[in-house]
Amino acid sequence: MRLLVVDMFTKRRDGPDAIGGAELCAIEVAKAVGGSLMTPEVDADEIEGVPLVKSRAGLRRSGAGRDWADTLVREVRSVAADFDCVFVNSSSAQQTNAARRIAEYGIPVVNYVHNGFMLYSFPTFSCVRALVKASAAGVINATPTRWNSDQMLKMAQKKHDQIGAVPPDTFKSFFMPVSLDYVPEPAREYSKNRVFAMTRHDEGKKPRNLAKQLVALRAAGFEAECHLLTSGSDPDALRADIAMMEDAGVTVRCDLPQSVSLRAAEGATLSITTSRYENVAVCQHEMAAMGIPTIWTTYGDEFVFVETLQPVGMGVGVDNDPEAVVEAARKFSSMPIADRISGAIEIRRLFSKESFVEGIIRSVEMAISSRKSGGLDW
C-alpha cells in the first residue's frame, strides 16, 4: 500500500524537539503499512526508517489560517500521483479542513481525528461546519473520518446531534497502537508506595494540580517521582511547581525522553495524571501495559480511560481533591500482581498494532473504493 501520512507537527520520538502522542501515531501509521510521512522542519531523510516527504507549510501552530492550508493542499496534490491514498493525522481543525479540501480534488483521503479540543470548538471551524452540514443532509461522506477512541466519538455525538446521524461506515474509531518496541514487560515485583508521573509544560496537562497531588501523596507516606519530558517541557516555566515538589521530598527529573522515563517507571505502584484533556494519553496506556494503573482527576468530562483502563481494573477517576487521590492510591497499593499482569495483557491487546493496521487498511480501502465509484465529498 502506497500511503502518504500527513502530519504537520511530527519531529522525533525522543530528544529536545520531541512532541506528543498524536504525532507519534503518524510515525506508527507509516511504519505499519510501509508508507511515507509528509512533515515539516525535520532535517533528515527519514524517521525511524520511514521515508520523509518534506513540507514547506511549516508546523501547524495556533493561528495558522488559509494560507497555511493552501500550501499544504498544493504540496499533497503535487505528490498524490505517487500514492494510493492520503492519511491525514488531524491534531488540529486546520488539518481536518485540509483533508476535506484534498478530497475535493478526487484524491482518496482518510481523516484520523486526535484532538479533543476540536470537540469544544466544533461550531467555529469551517471544516466541521461542512461535516455537520453534509451529515444533516444525509450525504454519504466518501472520505471516512476515523476517531482515536469510541469515547471521543461519543463526545462529538453528544455535543452535536447531526454527527450522530451520519451513515454507520462514515465514522468509526480504532486506537492508535502502544509502541511495544520500547515499552517494558510487566515487572515481577511492584512497590506498595511508589507513585510515578510523567508530564510536560502544557496548561492543558494542569502541571500545577499534578504538583499539588504529588505533594499530598508524599505527605501521606508515598514515594513520589515526577518526570518532565523533553516533549514540550520547559523547566523554567515550571520552576515554582518544581520547587514546591522538591521541598516536599518529591523526586523531580527534567528533560528526559519518554522511553527513558518508562524504564524508570518499572515496578511503580501507580501513575497519576491531572490533565484537563486526554484523547488517548499514550504514556498512561504504556504504563498500563507495564502493569502500572493510573489515577486520573476528573473535570466533568469523560476521558478515554473509562473505555480502556477502568474496565480492566487499571485505573480510576476521582475528584480533583488530594484526599480522594490519596484514598485511591492506598487501594492500588494492595493490587495483586496477577491483576496487574492480566490488565497489562488486555491493554496490549486493545492497543495492538494488528488491530490498528486492520482499521487503517479498511478505511483506506473504503476511501479508494468511494473515489472509484464516484462517491460524494464532504
What order of strands is seen across the sheet that includes strand 315-319?
Answer: 251-256, 223-229, 194-199, 270-273, 294-298, 315-319
- Find the radius of gyration of the CA atoms of the chain: 21
Q: Are strands 46-47 and 50-55 parallel, antiparallel or unpaired?
A: antiparallel
- The confidence score (pLDDT) of residue 202 equals 67
Q: What is the pLDDT of residues 2-17, one digit of tens each?
A: 999 998 765 554 444 4
- The confidence score (pLDDT) of residue 63 equals 47
For cell 461535516, name the residue.
131
DSSP 189-210: ---SSEEEEEE-S-GGG-HHHH
Averaged over 150-164, what is the pLDDT?
64
Q: What is the pLDDT of residues 83-98, one digit of tens each?
A: 999 998 876 667 777 7
- The confidence score (pLDDT) of residue 49 equals 87
Distance CA(9)–CA(292), nearest Å, equals: 29
Whether residue 377 lies inside any domain: the answer is: no
Structural domain boundaries enclosing 331: 194-350
Query: Which set of grid coordinates corresponds to residue 174?
Result: 480504532
Same structural domain, 277 and 362: no
Of the pLDDT bands very low, low, confident and very high (cuts 50, 70, 90), residue 183 is confident
Same structural domain, 166 and 31: yes
| Pure H helices in the chain | 21-33, 66-79, 93-103, 117-121, 126-136, 150-159, 207-219, 239-247, 258-265, 282-288, 322-333, 337-350, 353-372
Averaged over 14-32, what is the pLDDT?
69
Distance CA(378)–CA(364), nearest Å, equals: 16
Q: Are 125 and 43 in contact, with CB atoms under 8 Å apart?
A: no
Whether residue 189 lies inside any domain: the answer is: no
Cα 62–chain centre separation: 18
State the CATH number of the domain containing residue 7. Answer: 3.40.50.2000
Whether residue 25 lies inside any domain: the answer is: yes
Whether residue 184 lies inside any domain: the answer is: no
Whether residue 186 lies inside any domain: the answer is: no
Is 292's pLDDT higher than 90?
A: yes
Residue 3 pairs in a beta bridge with: 85
Of the pLDDT bands very low, low, confident and very high (cuts 50, 70, 90), residue 175 is low
Same structural domain, 252 and 148: no
Of the pLDDT bands very low, low, confident and very high (cuts 50, 70, 90), residue 28 is confident
Query: Which set of grid coordinates corresponds to residue 146?
Result: 476515523
Same structural domain, 10 and 156: yes
Whether residue 322 lies inside any domain: the answer is: yes
Which range, 22-36, 188-202, 337-351, has the best average confidence (pLDDT)?
Answer: 337-351
Higher pLDDT, 279 or 259: 259
Is 330's pLDDT higher than 80?
A: yes
Cα 64–chain centre separation: 21
Tell me the pLDDT of the chain averaged across its residues: 77
Same structural domain, 149 and 243: no
Is 164's pLDDT higher than 90?
A: no
**Which SS3 state, helix, strand or coil, does residue 109 take?**
strand
- The confidence score (pLDDT) of residue 271 equals 95
Percentage of residues of the chain with pLDDT beyond 70? 68
Q: What is the pLDDT of residues 196-254, one digit of tens each?
A: 998 876 666 788 899 999 999 999 999 999 988 655 556 677 788 889 999 999 999 88
- The confidence score (pLDDT) of residue 13 equals 47
Q: Say how many domains are in the chain.
A: 2
Same structural domain, 211 and 263: yes
Which range, 21-25, 68-72, 147-151, 270-274, has the best average confidence (pLDDT)?
Answer: 270-274
Is 329's pLDDT higher than 90?
A: yes
Higher pLDDT, 311 or 97: 311
